[in-house]
Amino acid sequence: MLDRFNRNLNYLRISVTDRCNLRCSYCMPEEGIILLPHEEILSYDEIAEFTRIAVDNGVTKVRITGGEPLVRKGISALVGMISDIKGITDLSMTTNGVLLKQYADELRAAGLHRVNISLDTIDPEKFRALTLTGNIYNVFEGIRAARNAGLLPVKINCVIKESKNEEAALGVTRYCEENNLEIRYIKQMDLVKGHFSTVEGGTGGDCSLCNRLRLTANGKLKPCLFSNIEFDIRELGFEKAIMLAAGSKPECGSKNENNEFYNIGG
Ligand code: SAM
């Protein structure tokens, strides 16, 4: 599926929930968020059917994200439904890793190929301060479980303020080297102010290469993370929403005043 700027939109990111078991200070307010009502959240059948139509239209890469995807009940069933769709060559998940020890084997068995795990510091106290509720040892165990389950390559997403030479990032870099993990440095972004930059070690943030469409947990299809444009897949119908999103993908991101990372998935 080519857009107006000849970019091949072959990558769908699906946020399956706005709920999260962490409260990373740069992502979610400490007091929490007003959660989407359950009836607004897309069912697994709706997500799988939407994905099937997206694949019919050229999508080959799918990433499951959130909120925290592992807090949605029965997530492995959704992975199984998506992995049954012929034509997907890369099926991945972005997770904070806290629950991964419990789920890694069943996710792999359901057909998940690989995971990206978010880790901004390896210091247990700083991790707790950053995430408010997190125990870093659960994440370390989750990373180990992902590797053992064969969810490879395991990639680490490390959010930095300005530079990968910050103390916290240096610690994560060392940990990744010692454990043979790929790392990507993501500069902290601001959707409302339109502050974004390229992801070091990844492909995000370079608008000329952007091949993504993003589906929110309540069924809004967004052609760009840094834009207010979105199409309601339930109101419009799945195929029409895909066509409209592809046709209106901006050449470059600007600002997003309607969403936050926790409801689009980063
Ligand atoms: N809960 C999952 C996780 O922690 O990976 C998936 C959702 S989370 C919103 C996806 C990614 O977005 C994470 O790697 C997170 O660090 C990143 N993220 C969240 N807020 C961000 C911000 N303001 N700037 C840059 N990255 C951000």
pTM recorded for the entire structure? 0.97
- Write the DSSP symbol of residue 212: E
Instruction: Give yes or no for residue 92 CB within 6 A of ligand 1.
Output: no
Helix (H, G, I), strand (E, B) or coil at 158: strand
* 51 CA distance to ligand 1 middle (Å): 22
* pLDDT single digits (tens) 51-65: 999 999 999 999 999
Q: Predicted confidence band at 202 (pLDDT cuts at 50, 70, 90)?
A: confident
Which residue among 15, 27, 70, 75 has the greatest number of ligand 1 atoms within 8 angstroms of its CB, and so is best to mutate? 27
> What is the distance between the alpha carbons of residues 237 and 214, in angstroms, rounded to a whole number?
16
pLDDT in tens, 86-97: 999 999 999 999
**Secondary structure of 9-36 in the HEC alphabet?**
CCEEEEECCCCCCCCCCCCCCCCCCCCC
Does the beta carbon of 159 lie inside 6 Å of ligand 1?
Answer: yes
Report the C-alpha gap between 76 and 131 in whole angstroms. Answer: 25
Instruction: Determine if ligand 1 sits within 6 Å of the CB of residue 66.
Output: yes
